[in-house]
A and B are shown apart, each in its own frame.
Chain A
Amino acid sequence: MKAEPKTILRFLLEHYDVIAELFETQSKEGIIAFEVLNQIVAKHESDVRPQLIEYKILSPVNDNYEIRTVYYNLIEFVLSEFKPMLPETIEKYHGSIAELYRKIRENINGDKVTLSQRLNDLAIEIRSFYEMVERNTQSLLQETRELKANVKKIDYREKIVRASRWIDEYIIPLNKILDINHSASVANKLYEISEFSNKYRLNFDDENARTQFEKLYFQLIQVNDNLLRQSKILTNELLPLIERIRTESIILTGWITYLKNPYKRKAPKLLKRKEISVYSKDTFYNASEIFEQFKNETDVYFEEEENESEKWIFDKEHYTKKLKENLPVENFFSWCNKTLKEDYKKVEIEKFFALTTLAFDEDIEREYGAKPQFDKIKINDLTLTVPKVTINYQQLIIDPPHGIS
């Protein structure tokens, strides 16, 4: 690269808007298509494509472009816009750190220059590891808070899926990496290295190496503290927050499903209250309510109704006697009508029928003509058609065995 560092940095500063837009495109699409590059550049005053290539900010990939990793990481860092990394990516540090540590330990008395270089590399790897963990935690927190606020207005079911994926794919594995009690974790390996460097920073014949061990030891104290803090953020803040998003999303999804048609779904069973229970608190009130219905504040008097006319009782004996005195009776029903009219001003049908019962007495014999004859008798508004019945003197038993008193 022929350009001066200051020239490149000045270029980045002057054309930051173009670079930020390219960064955003690559973050979303994974690559910058040729046409997109032209569109972005065209929006700005000068054509910066030659410089982007010359300063090795962009590198061609087939017919498209991508921002070189070193610049990408710089912009990512400046913008604090990290995408969460899968813990598998972080886990690779376990291999590199463990391998360097193994070589340092096995060749502790070997070439001092190589030892110094390995100690230096180990410090770089540890720093890289920590920075990646920190970035991942921060980006997970940021994503989670966005999900919580639902900035992108995503569906509840999608929220459940995302929250579940972050828990299962990111947070739990990352927590394992940071779990110092787990023998295979990176944190556990760092603790082991810390113990090792503590021993050699105090007791090693080469002063330069001793100083390096000392630096490594204090770096590890700092890193272990920071890792513990990250682990706490994960377990105390991030995990509960994501769990809550997941739980809330499940509940809301359930409610929204229910509200689609609450009348067709079964509701949870609730005990049906009995109106009156022997044990009920309301028994007193229920009882008093019933009694209050019967409680009258004013006295009520009932007056006995006076009958307008006395109840008429048929005196069979009297009329049998009367019938006997009038024998022979040629037309029984006419006689009944006539007799009643003599006794009462007004003849009710009830009295007429009572008197006619004399003709149905088993002890008398009635005589009908050879040919049935009928009479019409008028009683008040009623006209009765009655047969002509004759009752003779000889046939009437005057003193019936069952006398009526």
Chain B
Amino acid sequence: MEFPNHHRQIVEDLMAGKFMLPNERTYQAVKDNEQSYTYFFKASFNYELRLTQDYAYLVSEESAEMLSRDICIFIALLSYELDRDGKNFLERIQFSEFEMEEIENYFTNSSYIDLILSNKQLKDADARKNFINTLNRRNIIEKTGDNRFVFTSAHKFFVDFATDIVKYENAEKEE
């Protein structure tokens, strides 16, 4: 029985809840064998493979709901604060490097401070540092130094979610 190249790496990464990115050789292997992998993960684990031009990842019925929620809060707050600061938040998230100092400034001075303090993963500098490491493990960001990181194309997964909220609300209003 022959498996595609990097099969083991693909299974390891996806099963670890990582977003697989287009610049990774594994992504191309998944893309070339999309149908096979879709079937493989469904038959083996009942997981759904989602492949877009920006990432590949697995979805299961059992979801890491809390982590997902906290990532949404993190990106939402960062986008809001960047915009409030007169920055092009989408461009910055897509193309720029962030320093933890900048993140700390935005979060400690945010008008959403109550929400931040009530969130275990975002409440203080130490918690946020750990949270950044979690995002790194999931390939949502890439650490470029001890205190620096860039967002990967996986951030679009969450940005699409924000767009869907508006679409969903508009559709509800029209009904």
Chain A residues engaging chain B, CB cutoff 8 angstroms: 149, 244, 247-248, 250-259, 262-263, 265-274, 277, 279-281
Contacts and interface: CB of A to CB of B under 8 A. Distances in A.
B15 interface: yes
A270 B64 contact: yes
Interface stretch (B27-35, B86-94, B101-109): B86-94
A256 B111 CA distance: 12
5 contacts: A244-B90, A255-B162, A258-B73, A259-B73, A279-B15
B76 A272 contact: no
Contacts of B89: 248, 252
Given A250-B163, A259-B73, A279-B8, 14 more contacts: A250-B162, A251-B90, A254-B166, A255-B79, A256-B80, A258-B73, A262-B69, A262-B73, A265-B69, A269-B59, A270-B63, A271-B60, A272-B62, A273-B17
A268 B73 CA distance: 12
Nearest to B59: A269
Contacts of B36: none
Contacts of B58: 271
B74 to A, nearest CB: 10
Contact of B161 (A244, A256, A259, A268): A268
Given A255-B76, A259-B77, A268-B72, A277 B83 contact: no
B53 to A, nearest CB: 17
Given A250-B166, A255-B75, A280 B60 contact: no
Contacts of B112: 259
B117 interface: no
A252 B80 contact: yes
Contacts, number: 116
B157 A277 contact: no
Contacts of B166: 250, 253-254, 257
Given A149-B86, A267-B65, A269-B63, A259 B16 contact: no
Which of A257, A258, A259, A269 has the most chain B CB atoms closer than 10 A to its own CB?
A269
Contacts of A265: 69, 165
B157 A269 contact: no
A281 B157 CA distance: 25
Contact of B11 (A256, A266, A273, A279): A279
Contacts of A252: 79-80, 83, 89, 162
Contacts of B63: 267, 269-272
A161 to B, nearest CB: 12
Contacts of B57: 271
A247 B47 CA distance: 31
Given A252-B80, A273-B64, A258 B15 contact: no
Contacts of A247: 90, 163
Contacts of B47: 271
Contacts of B88: 244, 248
Contacts of A268: 68, 72, 157-158, 161
B67 interface: yes
Interface residues of B, number: 45
A279 B115 contact: no
B64 A259 contact: no
B77 A270 contact: no
A266 B73 CA distance: 12
Contacts of A279: 8, 11-12, 15
B107 to A, nearest CB: 13
The 10 A-B pairs of least Cβ separation, nearest first, read A254-B162, A255-B76, A267-B68, A254-B165, A267-B69, A271-B17, A269-B63, A270-B68, A272-B64, A270-B64
B113 interface: no
Contacts of A273: 16-17, 64
B58 to A, nearest CB: 5
A266 B66 CA distance: 10
A270 B64 CA distance: 5
A315 to B, nearest CB: 67
B169 interface: yes
A281 B12 contact: yes
A280 B15 contact: yes
A257 B161 contact: no
Given A250-B166, A254-B163, A270-B67, A259 B76 contact: yes
A149 B85 CA distance: 10
B159 interface: yes
B164 interface: yes
Contacts of B16: 273, 277, 280-281
A272 B60 contact: yes
Contact of A258 (B59, B65, B86, B165): B165
A271 B162 contact: no
Contacts of A281: 12, 16
Given A248-B89, A257-B165, A279-B12, A271 B79 contact: no
Most chain B C-beta atoms within 10 Å of own C-beta, residue among A254, A258, A271: A271
Contacts of B15: 271, 274, 277, 279-280
Nearest to A269: B63
A256 B162 CA distance: 9
B59 A271 contact: yes
